[in-house]
Amino acid sequence: MQPKNINKDNIMTLKPLWQLGFSTAIMMAISACSQEPAPASVAIPPTPASIPHTNHTMASSPEAASTPTSHTSQNDCEIALNGTDAMQFSLKQIEIPAHCTQATIHLSHTGKLPKTAMGHNVVITSQAHLRGVLSDGLQAGKEHEFVKPNDERVLAHSKLLGGGESDSITFDTALLKTEPYVFVCSFPGHSGPMRGTIVIQ
């Protein structure tokens, strides 16, 4: 049959071309590696870990030297987080300074909608447990504000808020240093847009 012959011809002519292209690419890669010496002039930037975290006023630049020296180490363990009527958190990532042994999240619902329609909470859990925490929270229902009671996977969670309300949670940061943690609103349908990562830095 004619179509079969055409297919066969195409395969047979394509294969050597493909092999040629492949081996040429390998030769080019090998020669590129052997001819180019490793760039010796690339400066390795200092990693954040190499900067002593107890030194808040490193005078390494004029800007750093001129910043006010009023100490804010008590406040920088506290994070303000807003939830809106547009089903959004104000942060996609919560950054907690490494020196904080505890951290506090102040959650404010800056919208006007009631919590039955646009409820917001903040639930802290590990990335690995997020799915289970959310599904069990959904099952727990509105009488438990969409968090399973005494859920050991939940490091901390706030009350469920409606517009104009606020709540604060304080939690130990030790576990946050052992695996990736997230914050999320467990109100039905909100966990997609209303979630973010927690970073210790």
**Nearest distance from C-beta of residue 197 to Co ion, angstroms:** 17
Per-residue tokens: 32? 């590129």
Strands 195-200 and 93-96, how do they pair?
A: parallel
Residue 127 tokens, joined: 């990335």
Distance CA 8, CA 22 (A): 21
Q: How far is the CB of 117 from Co ion (least distance, A)?
A: 10
CB of 104 to Co ion, least distance (A): 20
Backbone φ and ψ of 116, nearest 5°:
-70, -25
Yes or no: say if 174 and 152 are a contact pair by the CB < 8 Å rule: no
Minimum CB distance to Co ion smaller for 100 or for 165: 165
The candidate with the shortest Cα–Cα distance to 120, out of 150, 144, 97, 146, is: 146
Give the integer Cα–Cα distance in Å for 144 and 136: 11
Q: Report the residue number, 163 or 198, with the smaller CB distance to Co ion.
A: 163
In angstroms, rounded to a whole number, what is the distance separating the alpha carbons of residues 57 and 51?
A: 11
Residues of this chain that bind Co ion (CB under 5 A): 120, 185, 187, 190, 194
Query: Do 123 and 71 form a contact (C-beta atoms < 8 A)?
Result: no
Instruction: Give the shortest CB-112-to-Co ion separation in angstroms.
Output: 14
Alpha carbon distance 133, 74 (integer Å):
31
Our CB check for Co ion shows the closer of 62 and 192 to be 192
Separation between Cα atoms, residue 76 and residue 91, nearest integer Å: 15
Q: Which is nearer to Co ion, 120 or 129 (CB)?
A: 120
CB of 145 to Co ion, least distance (A): 11
Write down the least CB distance from residue 120 to Co ion, Å: 4
Measured from the CB atom, the residue of 180 and 188 that comes closer to Co ion is: 188
Nearer to Co ion, 181 or 187 (CB): 187
